[in-house]
Amino acid sequence: MNRTEGPLSGVRVVDLTRVLAGPYCTQILGDLGADVIKIERPGTGDDTRKFAPPFLKDADGNDTAESAYFMSANRNKRSLALDISKPEGQAVVRRLAADSDALVENFKTGNLARYGLGYDDLKEANPRLVYCSITGFGQTGPYAERPGYDFLVQAMGGIMSITGEPDGEPQKVGVPIADIMSGMFAAVAVNAALRHAALTGEGQYIDIGMLDTQVAWLVNAGMNYLYSGDLGRLGNAHPNIVPYQVFATGDGYIVVAIGNDGQFRRFCEMVGRADLADDARFATNDGRVRNREACIAELRPLFAARSSAEWLSALEAEGIGCGPINRLDRVFDDPHVKARGMVAEVAHPAVGGAPAKLISTPLRLSATPAGIRLPPPVLGEHTEEVLRDVLGCDDGEIGRLRDAGAIG
Whole-number Å distance between alpha carbons of 3 and 20: 23
* Residue 150 vs residues 168, 211, 222, 353: alpha-carbon distances, Å: 21, 9, 19, 34
Closest by CA position to 24, among listed 218, 178, 216: 178
- What gap in Å lies between CA 238 and CA 258, rounded to an integer? 11
Examine the residue annotation and report whether 167 is marked as an active-site residue of this protein: no
* Contact in structure between 123 and 129 (CB atoms under 8 Å): yes
Task: Say if residues 383 and 80 touch (Cβ distance below 8 Å).
Answer: yes
Report which secondary-structure segment, H or E, holds 231.
none
Task: Decide: 47 and 20 in contact? Cβ < 8 Å.
Answer: no
Per DSSP, the three-state class of 345 is strand
Task: Find out whether the peptide bond into 142 is cis, omega within 30 degrees of 0.
Answer: no
User: Choosing from 58, 179, 207, 329, which is the catalytic residue?
Assistant: 179
Amino acid at 84: I
Alpha-carbon distance of 132 to 204, in angstroms, equals 8
Spatial separation of the C-alpha atoms in residues 154 and 133, rounded to whole Å: 20
| Catalytic positions | 179
